[in-house]
Amino acid sequence: MALIRTQSTRFERFLDALYIPALLRGFRVTTSHLFRRRFTQDYPEEKRTLPVGYRGKHKLNLDAHEHVKCVACYLCGTACPADAILIESAPCPPGWEGRDRYPSKFEIDTMKCIYCGFCEEACPVDAIVLTDAVPDVLEKRGQFVRDREDLVRQPPASWKR
């Protein structure tokens, strides 16, 4: 890179020393910003448009008979790097056709969860998915542990990616 020297005339140096042209240029810049679009998103009132592939709240899917799809294989819990998933396996209640075991307890501690999506990839039956619903803000630590009913209920069934 060559250093380019510019020769300023006496008049230009005089204008510089006056400050005034520079001040007016500055005011023009700031005033033009007065009429520009703002960058701030007004969060609770304005929802963000999330990027494709955003990983938000977990959801447990149901099968054709409205039963939890999960077969309690522990693969998601094993894959989880944050150790946030707690599953207790039990034999299916009578009447669940073609099913062997189901999770009598399925809890995700969303305080531990890092929303990496490994559970979703590990699942052999597409039971657990991460939706693009933004995780909740709650008041007590205990409220962040989501049980099976909660994971099935919300976000609602229509919220599939």
Partner 1 sequence: MSFELIVDLAKVAFLIGAVLAVVPFLTLAERKGCAWLQDRMGPSRVGMLGIGKRFGLGQPLADGIKLIFKEDTVPAGADVFLFTLAPILVLLPALATLIVVPLGCDIDLLGHRVQLQGADLNIGILWFLALGAFSVYGLALGGWASNNKFSLMGGIRSTAQLISYEIALGLGIVGVALTTGSLSPREIVAAQGGSLFGVPGLHWNLFTQPVGFLVFLVACFAENNRLPFDLPEAEPELVGGYHTEYSGMRFGLFMMAENAEMILLSALIVTLYLGGWMIPGVDPASLGTGWLAGLMTAGCFATKVAALLAFFILVRWSLPRFRYDHLMTLGWKGLIPLGLVNCLLAAVVAVW
> Considering the rule CB under 8 A, would residue 46 count as an interface residue with partner 1?
no
* Residue 144, phi-psi category: left (phi > 0), alpha (psi -120 to 50), beta (remainder): alpha
- Site for partner 1 (CB under 8 A): which residue of 34, 52, 64, 137? 34
Nearest approach in angstroms of CB 30 to partner 1 is: 4
- Site for partner 1 (CB under 8 A): which residue of 12, 21, 26, 81? 26
Query: How many amino acids of this chain bind partner 1 (CB under 8 A)?
Result: 14
Nearest approach in angstroms of CB 33 to partner 1 is: 5
What share of residues in the chain are helix, strand, coil (percent, to 5)? 25, 15, 55
Identify whether the C-beta of residue 92 lies closer than 8 Å to the C-beta of residue 70.
no
How far apart, in whole angstroms, are the C-alpha atoms of residue 15 and residue 121?
A: 66
Q: b vs e for 87-103, b when ≥16 Cβ sit within 10 Å of the residue's Cβ?
A: bebeebeeeeeebeebb
> Considering the rule CB under 8 A, would residue 33 count as an interface residue with partner 1?
yes
> Considering the rule CB under 8 A, would residue 14 count as an interface residue with partner 1?
no
Please name the residues in contact with 150: beta carbons below 8 A apart, sequence gap of 6 or more. none
Question: For partner 1, which stretch binds (CB under 8 A), given 37-45, 65-73, 100-108, 147-155?
Answer: 37-45
Nearest approach in angstroms of CB 48 to partner 1 is: 15
> Considering the rule CB under 8 A, would residue 42 count as an interface residue with partner 1?
yes
> Considering the rule CB under 8 A, would residue 39 count as an interface residue with partner 1?
yes
Residue type, 10: R
Chain residues that interact with partner 1, rule: CB under 8 A: 23, 26-27, 29-31, 33-34, 36-40, 42
